Structure 1
Amino acid sequence: MSDLKHFGRVLVIAPHPDDEILGCGGTIARLSAEGQEVHVAVTTQGYPPAFSEESVAQVRREMTSAHEIVRVSQTHVLDLPAAALDQVPASQLNAKLEQLVKDVAPDTLFLPFVGDIHGDHQLIFLASMVAARPRHDKAPSRIFCYETLSETNWYAAPVTPAFVPNVFIDISDTLETKVRAFAAFASQVRPFPDERSIEAIESLARIRGAAVHLRAAEAFVLVREIARKT
């Protein structure tokens, strides 16, 4: 198995806690195992009255446990309002993401897919792309979009953008770690056949892997790659 050292410093941007595990938990675990620096930014949290303080605190604890399991190097929480990003001025949202990308200075960026059904996912993708504009030589060298079960496949493709992966990362050795990390989000796990079930997560990894003759994989859309001189 080839390593992923060329990814350099990695930043995964998640609209909500657990999106990062659903979308690329196995890749995070593999990168960490290979000694890579992996940052995760969770951009929103729930606020009353839509979300109780108790439920928010529980999810935050679950997130901490999940990130320990996949060995995230550093977690960044931006505390923007969940399910209400459309009420945040675009200038404010863009500024938050620009500062994040500037602070972390990632070589590789993982984002939610613009075609996800949740508006928060769409807005975070757009703001992240603004933050990652290649206007200087420290801009991210590569940008991937990940797929999130119950979000990426529930929009209206082909009327809306369809997730057509062109990058597959082998997670044969870290699928179990990904599953344990998602199981740490006890409040979010659902019984099969719900898509946010352990069985569905494992099945998607097997299907994505079989598509490229691997035992398990996570699939991504490559948005941009810059092959800079070393």
Structure 2
Amino acid sequence: MRRLVLSPHMDDESMGCGGLLAKHPDECTVAVAADSGDVRRREFTQAMAVLGVTRTVELGMEDGYLDRNIPALVGAVDDLCREHRPEELYLPFPSLQQDHIAVYEAGMRAARLSMTPGHWSAPQVFVYDVAVYDVNLYPTDLRWNVFEPLSREQAELKAGACEQYVSESPEGPHPIRAILQIAEAVGKTRGLEFAEQYALVRHVRP
């Protein structure tokens, strides 16, 4: 299985897909769109080491302004899909943050069928939850309808990866400080010990 996780920033991949990455590190490539500086890059490297992920890509685009050049972002994601040919493509939920919306839109466009030679359309497309924003800017028909079971160890690795992002951890209560509890709540309500939630966009049977 080849899995490509598109992350707007260095931390979204761990908050959204950290359990999946810990569960299948050898099958996953993480591609980050925004360049958030050297501090976040060091934290990202540490988080990937915690999860055991060795394949990463940095697109190096301007943090906070990914929506300024959607064609370039779509082209970069097209190139990633053509190179890695993922069977599963993971996109961030298009919540309030403009970079999340841009990466979601670019990923959806890259997932299209195309007559361009060499274009790769992932047969399975999922949207992942970054449990930070509780209000949506635009209405969508996305529903959390796929639940990835996690062991306690995998959930703890996800939490450990998120703990590497010290520069992104505000004071006081915050979802990034409750990763294990969120995974437990998502799991328990579906008869599982721990889980992550995803919205299925497309599933083409092999």
- Is 1:44 the counterpart of 2:40? The answer is no
Q: Which amino acid aligns with 1:167?
A: V
Where 1:154 maps in the other structure, the secondary structure is coil
- Richer in helix (by share): 2
1:160 Cα offset (Å): 2.4
- Is 1:161 the counterpart of 2:154? The answer is no
Unaligned runs of 5+ in 2: none
Summarize the Cα distance change of 1:190–1:162 in structure 2 as closer, same or farther, 3 Å threshold: farther
Query: What whole-Å deviation, never above 9, does each CA across 1:138-188 have from its counterpart, x for those lacking one?
Result: 52121110000213x2325xx623753100001123011111111111111
Question: Which residue is 2:97 aligned to?
Answer: 118
Summarize the Cα distance change of 1:163–1:208 in structure 2 as closer, same or farther, 3 Å threshold: farther
Summarize the Cα distance change of 1:58–1:98 in structure 2 as closer, same or farther, 3 Å threshold: same
Summarize the Cα distance change of 1:196–1:162 in structure 2 as closer, same or farther, 3 Å threshold: farther
Q: CA separation in 1, counterparts of 2:142 and 2:121? A: 24
Does the Cα contact within 8 Å between 1:97 and 1:128 map onto a contact in 2? Answer: yes
1:86 to 51, 67, 77: 67
Q: Which amino acid aligns with 2:71?
A: S
Matches within 5 A, 1:145-224: 145-151=127-133, 153-155=134-136, 160-161=139-140, 164-172=143-151, 173-197=153-177, 200-224=178-202
- Is 1:25 the counterpart of 2:18? The answer is yes
Count matched residues: 202
Q: CA separation in 1, counterparts of 2:54 and 2:201? A: 24
The RMSD of aligned alpha carbons is 1.8
Q: Which amino acid aligns with 1:30?
A: K
Q: CA separation in 1, counterparts of 2:119 and 2:53? A: 26
Q: Which amino acid aligns with 1:122?
A: I
Does the Cα contact within 8 Å between 1:24 and 1:218 map onto a contact in 2? Answer: yes
Q: CA separation in 1, counterparts of 2:107 and 2:185? A: 29
TM-score by length of 2: 0.91
Question: Which residue is 2:50 aligned to?
Answer: 69
Q: Which amino acid aligns with 1:38?
A: C
Q: CA separation in 1, counterparts of 2:54 and 2:89? A: 15
Where 1:174 maps in the other structure, the secondary structure is helix
2:126 to 136, 141, 144: 144
Does the Cα contact within 8 Å between 2:148 and 2:196 map onto a contact in 1? Answer: yes
Does the Cα contact within 8 Å between 2:162 and 2:176 map onto a contact in 1? Answer: no
Question: Which residue is 2:6 aligned to?
Answer: 13
Q: Which amino acid aligns with 2:66?
A: L
